[in-house]
């Protein structure tokens, strides 16, 4: 009975640890990341280790959401998701309990060369999702970091970091105020939503933003509240 109890405890511990690692992107060419040594607790160290593991792969994605010692978030993506002719590596991690960092590397001479970084993105809840789309419609995919959800409305919000032809970031703090953003490349606008109260109930409004002087600017907002 004691031996059986020990086996069950081991199974439970292994199951909990397994849930800490999320692996996506099921292509055969992608790197299948296994559990990393538990001595690595710094999220940037984790990202750099994974980045190096990905050096000779076409693409890979790695996510780690938290460990047993503190809430930390580590994300790595490599591949031609920014430039068609260059292999990029993006790492995102939490250097402190109130900031998120992002770094961009490009593969040159069989090594990852650092291009740019932004290490002080403010966040109050260090759980995020990230996406790479062409948010400013210049033909180069950018980085979006979703850092939260508007309470009561379920509308995600976060930051856009546009990327230029040299791989450099431009941080757009105004993008934090744009909820549930969705780029429309045909019209070169960003569709979004916000919330208002109508007769004591929360109503979802439609918004449209455009880039003016390299800044996201609200140009239309629709709020229908029938009295």
Residues 143 and 132 sit within 8 Å (Cβ to Cβ): yes
CA–CA separation, 145 vs 148, rounded Å?
9
pLDDT at 6: 43
3-state class percentages of the chain: helix first, strand second, coil last, to nearest 5 = 15, 45, 40
Residues 98 and 122 sit within 8 Å (Cβ to Cβ): yes
Q: Report the mean per-residue pLDDT for the chain.
A: 81
Residue 128's closest CA among 48, 71, 167?
71
Flag the least confident range among 35-44, 73-82, 173-182, 188-197. Answer: 35-44
pLDDT at 10: 42
Flag the least confident range among 6-15, 175-184, 205-214. Answer: 6-15
**How much of the chain exceeds pLDDT 70, in percent?**
74
Tell the burial category of 25 from Cβ atoms under 10 Å away from its Cβ (0-12, 13-18, 19+).
middle
Please name the residues in contact with 194: beta carbons below 8 A apart, sequence gap of 6 or more.
Answer: 153, 155, 179, 204, 205, 207, 221
Q: How many CB atoms lie within 10 A of CB 173?
A: 11
Q: How many CB atoms lie within 10 A of CB 43?
A: 24
What's the gap between Cα 164 and its chain centre? 18
What would the pLDDT profile of 23-79 be if each residue is shown by its tens digit?
334 333 344 444 444 444 688 998 999 999 999 999 999 987 665 545 567 899 999
pLDDT at 202: 84
Token representation of residue 24: 């996506």
């Amino acid at each position: 009975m004691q031996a059986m109890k020990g086996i069950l405890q081991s199974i439970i511990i292994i199951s909990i640890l397994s849930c800490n690692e999320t692996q996506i992107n099921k292509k055969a060419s992608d790197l299948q990341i296994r559990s990393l040594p538990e001595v690595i607790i710094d999220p940037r160290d984790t990202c750099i280790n994974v980045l190096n593991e990905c050096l000779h792969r076409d693409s890979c994605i790695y996510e780690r959401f938290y460990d047993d010692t503190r809430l930390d978030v580590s994300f790595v993506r490599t591949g031609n998701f920014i430039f068609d002719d260059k292999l990029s590596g993006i790492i995102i991690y939490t250097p402190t309990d109130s900031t998120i960092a992002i770094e961009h590397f490009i593969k040159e001479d069989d090594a990852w060369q650092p291009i740019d970084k932004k290490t002080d993105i403010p966040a109050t809840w260090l759980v995020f999702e990230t996406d790479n789309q062409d948010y400013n419609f210049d033909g180069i995919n950018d980085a979006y970091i979703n850092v939260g959800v508007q309470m009561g409305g379920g509308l995600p919000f976060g930051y856009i970091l546009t990327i230029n032809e040299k791989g450099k970031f431009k941080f757009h703090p105004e993008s934090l105020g744009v909820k549930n953003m969705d780029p429309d490349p045909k019209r070169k606008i960003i569709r979004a939503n916000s919330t208002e109260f109508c007769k004591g109930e929360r109503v979802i409004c439609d918004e449209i933003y455009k880039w003016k002087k390299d800044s996201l600017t609200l140009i239309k907002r629709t709020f229908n509240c029938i009295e």
